[in-house]
Amino acid sequence: MSPKRLLCAAALSLCFAGPAAFAQTAAPTAQPAPADQPGMETGAPAPAAPTAAAASSAPTVAMAAQAPVAPLTGPVRNVVLVHGAFVDGSSWNGVVAKLQQKGYHVSSVQNPLTSLADDVAATRRVLARQQGPTILVGHSWGGVVITEAANAPNVAGLVYIAAIAPQLHESTMDLMKRAAPMPAGEAISADPSGFLWLDRARYHADFAADVPENVTRVLSTAQVPIAQKAFGETVSQVGWKDKPSWYVLTTKDRAVSPEVQRFMADRMGATVVPMASSHLAPVSHAGAVADVIDRAARELSRPQ
């Protein structure tokens, strides 16, 4: 496979969508009503209690000092959302609104997308502001970020939405090479400064086919590029080995292969939730994504 095709394929794992407005942190307004959600598959059992991820002998992302946080006691009422490339945190707006209606305290990270270390640092800053147990959610490239950042002591569990979930010292590109290039592979190009952009003309068909075209026109216009080097960066912490995990597998994805998604989810032993969605499920299926997060939070809140 040529370097160009590898780059394009890897970049697809990083796509995300959302308008330019910032998603705000909000306090809970109501308690969620218990109601099981259908369509979930259970993988290998997750650990009963979170522990700190083992440190790598040759880390690629520097460990940040953790601010004091509340111990993991009580129900999970905090949700931290981590976006991918080509957008900002407001791509979670629909999910934020649904979770707020269910009574959660929700925060949406604004990743700079300049490196894995920078995005992890941004996520840890938001995690340090949470009071009590928190569920950490990542979409696409955001999956790499939450995998590294999940060793924060207040993280109770992880939810991956069509997201990259690497193993120790494994990069996004390593995972994308497990399948043939996806249709959107040639929609990505690098600028002279080393940042990657999505072709506006391909954005709807290959990244958000189930999102209205008038919305994808805005998303493609407001996209935030990601540093090309991020594709080759590897994690030094693997949060899913120590924290219970859920995985939303997008079966109509033309960016990250459903085959690769299944491989990652099974390797994690995650609870798998198939969803007939394009890659941009947080935009096209905001309610269903919020329901999965709610289900995960309630399961984490049960007495062990």
**Which has more pLDDT, 294 or 52?**
294
| Residue 84, in any domain of the structure | yes
For residue 99, give the CATH number of its domain.
3.40.50.1820
Q: What is the pLDDT of residue 183?
A: 78
Q: What distance lies between CA 269 and its chain's CA centroid?
A: 17
How is residue 168 annotated by DSSP?
T
CA torsion through residues 215, 142, 76, 35, sign: positive
| Residue 11, in any domain of the structure | yes
Q: What distance lies between CA 283 and its chain's CA centroid?
A: 13
Q: Quick check: 281 and 207 in contact, CB under 8 A?
A: no
Of the pLDDT bands very low, low, confident and very high (cuts 50, 70, 90), residue 72 is: low
Instruction: State yes or no: pLDDT of 283 exceeds 60.
Output: yes
The DSSP bridge pattern shows strands 78-82 and 245-250 to be unpaired
Instruction: State yes or no: pLDDT of 62 exceeds 60.
Output: no
| Residue 248, in any domain of the structure | yes
Instruction: State yes or no: pLDDT of 77 exceeds 60.
Output: yes
- Residue written as token pair 């950490």: 136
Q: What is the pLDDT of residue 180?
A: 87
Domain of residue 91, residue span: 3-18+75-301
Q: What is the pLDDT of residue 30?
A: 40
What digits encode the pLDDT tens for the residues 253-278? 998 999 999 999 999 999 999 999 99
**Which has more pLDDT, 134 or 87?**
134
b/e code 264-299 from CB counts within 10 Å (16+ = b) = bbeebbbbbbbbebbbbbbbbbbebbbbbbbbbbbb
Instruction: State yes or no: pLDDT of 243 exceeds 70.
Output: yes
As a whole number of angstroms, the distance between CA 170 and CA 2 comes to 20
Question: Phi and psi (nearest 5°) for 230?
Answer: -60, -30
**Which has more pLDDT, 168 or 15?**
168
| Residue 47, in any domain of the structure | no
Question: Which stretches within the chain are classed as H helix?
Answer: 3-12, 93-101, 116-127, 142-149, 172-176, 200-207, 213-221, 258-268, 281-284, 286-301
| Residue 58, in any domain of the structure | no
As a whole number of angstroms, the distance between CA 279 and CA 284 comes to 9
What digits encode the pLDDT tens for the residues 160-215? 999 999 999 999 999 999 998 887 778 999 999 999 999 999 999 999 999 999 99
Structure tokens given for 253: 């994805």
| Residue 94, in any domain of the structure | yes
Q: What is the pLDDT of residue 296?
A: 98
Instruction: State yes or no: pLDDT of 63 exceeds 80.
Output: no
| Residue 212, in any domain of the structure | yes
- Residue written as token pair 């979770």: 99
Report, as an integer, the average pLDDT of 6-11: 42
Domain count, the chain: 1
| Residue 269, in any domain of the structure | yes
Q: In what order do the strands lie in the sheet with 226-227?
A: 188-190, 195-198, 226-227
Q: What is the pLDDT of residue 191?
A: 97
Q: Quick check: 235 and 205 in contact, CB under 8 A?
A: no
Instruction: State yes or no: pLDDT of 148 exceeds 70.
Output: yes
CA-wise closest residue to 222 among 173, 167, 283: 283
Q: Across the chain, what does the average pLDDT equal? A: 82
